[in-house]
Amino acid sequence: MVRRRRFLSLLLVGIVTAGSGGGACAEGLLGAKAPTAPTASAGAAPTASNLATAVAPDSPTAQVRPFYADGADLASADHERFVDPAKTVLEKNEALKKSGQGDCLDQNMPLDQVPYDKAVLEKTFKSLEAINGDDARVVVAFVEGSEPHRLEWKLKKVEGAWKITDLLSVTGEWALSQYQCE
């Protein structure tokens, strides 16, 4: 877990410092820019947004945005937005629910398992998208009840469309792909 946190920290610092203007836009999301931080690997400059910012319909952020703009949870999400390993975990969870054994996932995972308050979320939500070839990451941050939350969505381009491969909570130290729904 320590190695993962270190990797995520370096990734986040790299995303913030990449691009000519992306770092300045992202400072409010991920903190002040570190003077000796490494830069992100080659790829498009990261773009920052909030819930009021329009996003391209075919962007990685467009796949993530409904969980925040509409309050969608994992149960009501279109599972066609997902590919493995996330899709397998969601399918196993559905099978578990249908068998009457309950739910192994908190359906509020996109909000780091905290209550959804749209007004508060709209005021504090920020996201940062970084694309590197057929892989993308969308980091979201928001404050709920004076507690900051940061999540990372991993996506992959599959047949020309962005699909979610995993969801990780940087603050809660969990990953959707690590759940065993059996």
CATH class of 2-32+43-178: alpha beta
Asked which of 30-44, 117-131, 166-180 is least confident by mean pLDDT, the reply is 30-44
Q: What is the pLDDT of residue 145?
A: 86
Place of tokens 């970084």: 130
- For residue range 108-141, what is the model confidence (pLDDT) as tens digits? 899 998 888 889 899 999 999 999 999 999 999 9
**Helices 2-17 & 22-30, crossing angle to 10 degrees?**
140
| Three-state helix/strand/coil letters over the chain | CHHHHHHHHHHHHHHHHCCCCHHHHHHHHHCCCCCCCCCCCCCCCCEEECCCCCCCCCCHHHHHCHHHHCCCCCCCCCHHHECCCHHHHHHHHHHHHHCCCCCCCCCCHHHCCCCCCHHHHHHHCEEEEEEECCEEEEEEEEEECCEEEEEEEEEEEECCEEEEEEEEECCCCEEHHHCCCC
- For residue range 61-94, what is the model confidence (pLDDT) as tens digits? 999 999 998 887 887 778 889 999 999 999 999 9
Q: Mean of the pLDDT values across residues 9-26?
A: 37
Q: Mean of the pLDDT values across residues 54-59?
A: 94
Q: What is the pLDDT of residue 42?
A: 55
Q: Domain residues of the chain, as ranges?
A: 2-32+43-178
Asked which of 33-37, 94-98, 117-121, 176-180 is least confident by mean pLDDT, the reply is 33-37
Integer angstrom CA distances of residue 42 from 14, 36, 135: 11, 18, 12
Q: What percent of the chain has a predicted confidence (pLDDT) above 90?
A: 54
Helix (H) or strand (E) run with residue 161 in it: strand 161-169
Q: What is the pLDDT of residue 8?
A: 40
Rounded to an integer, what distance in angstroms lies between the CA atom of residue 6 and that of residue 85?
Answer: 22
